[in-house]
Structure 1
Amino acid sequence: MVMSQPGTVALTVEHDGSVQAIAFSPDSTRFASGGSDSVLRVRGTGVGAPLDVPCEGSVSAIAFGPDGAALAVADFEQVFLRSGATGAVIWQGPLEPGSSVNTVRFAPDGKVVATTDQVLVLLDGATGATSRKITVDTPLIADVDLSADGTRVVLAIDERHGGDHRNAGSARVLELATGAEITRLTPDDAVLAVAFSPDASLVLCCAADDTTRMFQADDGTQLWPTADDVEDQVTAPNCLAFDPKGKWTVVGGSDGFARVLEAESGVEKGRAPKLAPGLPDPGLGAVTHVAFGPNGKVAASASIDNVVRLFNLDGKERYAVPTDEVLAMEFSPDGRWLGIGSFGRALLIDNGEPGPG
């Protein structure tokens, strides 16, 4: 596609229901979307024939393999590995009968990491055979992140569910090959989101106790906030991301702001939207999704007031695009596109300047 004005919707992929899952191929030339209409749709970001693949149930997650040749699809209770060219099934199987699959990720070696509310399963990329199953003692798994080298996972645990529910939770770092727990951080309530730093030495998490915390993955030492600073951190956080170079984080809060924080200290560098001094609070909707562009120079946010924003680290806005409620958001690996999943469609927004930086 020809480069257009930043914020231009360059591609709309129509669906008959909510679009809960999107993914880009590693070379950024293909964009996949899926959701409640039980159809996986793959489109070229430039030229290329469209591919529509019927699925068995609601699609909750999609991931392209490291070489882009295959897609892992969370299809209701099963994980399907499908050909990226034809959509044909290579293998399929349930993680836990009767439990919906919520996430799928590829490790660098081609293995597939998938989760339900209660289990994390490592699957052989060639056969779908289970290599490791890790059962969480108190559900539910609210979020998961995989280290860049594929050796560790971190889980956000929300214990406000099930028969012994309570206002509690933890962020747990596990060795993927063995399932052994390396460390955990336990805030005063459910953990909602987690992210590894690029080198997996640090973990960022946010919790329902209105805190955002940074801790060391190896020993659980909390780096920030300090005990004196906890009260200053209350923004009702619910989503977060690390920048690809590990210097910055972005945290979305229910107060309507996406804050860029220094990873080392937690000190705020900027926030979006960037409001002029002295103006009254506009009553912003909660931020539901945040992400960093691959060059680490821009971040994006989506909020329940149905606006997607691309902004600099200081909060200066590059564009604001009105949308329906956003259910999924992801940058393309080359930084050119921002993919959005919402009700009835998936969108490809042109960021105006490609390049991972």
Structure 2
Amino acid sequence: MSQPGTVALTVEHDGSAQAVAFSRDSTRFASGGSDSVLRVRGVGVGVPLDVPCEGSVTGIAFSPDGAALAVADFEQVFLRSSTTGAVIWQGPLEPGSSVNTVRFTPDGKVVASTDAVVVVLEGATGASSRRITVDTPQIADIDLSGDGTRIALAIDERHGGDHRRAGSARVLELATGTELARLTPDDAVLAVAFGPDASLVLCCAADDTTRMFLADDGTQLWPTPDEVDEQVTAPNCLAFDPKGKWTVVGGSDGFARVLEAESGVEKCRAPKLAPGLPDPGAVTHVAFSPNGKVAASASIDNVVRLFDLGGKELYAVPTDEVLAMEFSPDGRWLGLGSFGRALVIDNGELGLG
């Protein structure tokens, strides 16, 4: 096993690699971006696959059985064979609108979104089984519950003809489109994440707040009205620990903070800066390893960091600007998309267990 922080795989792209994904068995890695080519590589061994696409690739997801790849390819969703790249089905969600994200439910349905609509597509045929239109776009982020029954939306209302400094975090039942909960901060909501049992939702907003609320009715759990935080952390990205005990929030102040999920109390932050050193700049991506013991962050200082729950830095790897970041399902690898290439970093035993 190589030293943690070793780059195990480099996939060259002629442009930005803005989408990455691992297969469920963690043996294959896919990347895509502005060069209109989907690239699939074995992590260690495997025959490389390069598939021409119609436009910029903005989202990739492996099917639960690993046999197919859902690809957000400009204005269409493609379902492709993960071994040959052959098209199984394709189609637009909304004519003239780019597809931003694709996800699989555990039973193999594809959930895809544009700025204003979420569509559930049958895995076998691509037929639409549910269409959810957002009344005040834009959709800034989505998260799918682990059981595939609910979707959380981050809504940013600073765009469009009726733009204003407003937004909301919403939870909807995917089968019916019924809204179950809505939380409305004082500005746009930038990111959302479900807890592992889908009962809690974490969100961060442009009003400098991070909030936890109940997915069933929108009740805010923290911060409480008497909790006044005068720190300007400018949260913009977040993730939930897969075990449900911790969350990690990245801010424009340069820190990734690990917060207790139950209370929102800060446990640690990374990086730990030596006196006199400049701050790393805004954190743009955060993620938890599946074992919940380590987290990763990427900042505009072009460094990716892995750290433990005490804030101890376990490695720091220089990169180009990170556009996408994802742990492999087994935690062994950290996949990155950046300008000109995609990378797979070896976490060694740090991410396993």
Distance 1:283 1:321 in 2: 16
Aligned to 2:332: 336
Aligned to 1:290: 286
Task: Look up the SS of the partner of 1:231 in the other structure.
Answer: coil
Q: Which runs of 4+ in 1 moved over 4 A?
A: none
Distance 1:234 1:220 in 2: 25
- Structure 1, unpaired ranges of 5+: none
Distance 2:213 2:91 in 1: 36
Worse overlay, 279-288 or 154-163: 279-288
Task: Look up the SS of the partner of 1:53 in the other structure.
Answer: strand
Aligned to 2:296: 300
Q: Displacement, 1:206?
A: 0.1
Letter in 1 for 2:5: G
Contact 2:5 2:346 in 1 (8 A): yes
Aligned to 1:88: 86
Contact 1:251 1:258 in 2 (8 A): yes
Aligned to 1:317: 313
Contact 1:240 1:289 in 2 (8 A): yes
What is the number of equivalent residue pairs in this alignment?
353
1:4 to 2, 5, 14: 2
Task: Look up the SS of the partner of 2:155 in the other structure.
Answer: strand
- Structure 2, unpaired ranges of 5+: none
Over the residues paired in the alignment, what is the CA RMSD in angstroms? Answer: 1.0
Letter in 1 for 2:290: P
Distance 1:71 1:57 in 2: 16
Letter in 1 for 2:330: D
Task: Look up the SS of the partner of 1:344 in the other structure.
Answer: strand
| Pairing 1:43–2:41 present | yes
Aligned to 1:148: 146
Aligned to 2:63: 65
Letter in 2 for 1:85: T
1:194 to 182, 192, 195: 192
Aligned to 2:95: 97
Aligned to 1:249: 247
Aligned to 1:259: 257
Q: Displacement, 1:281?
A: 6.0
Distance 2:219 2:238 in 1: 20
Distance 2:113 2:276 in 1: 43
Q: Displacement, 1:355?
A: 6.1
Letter in 1 for 2:289: G
1:218-233 equivalences under 5 Å are 218-232=216-230
Q: Displacement, 1:233?
A: 5.5
Distance 1:12 1:280 in 2: 34
Q: Displacement, 1:272?
A: 0.6
**TM-score, normalised by the number of residues in structure 1:** 0.97
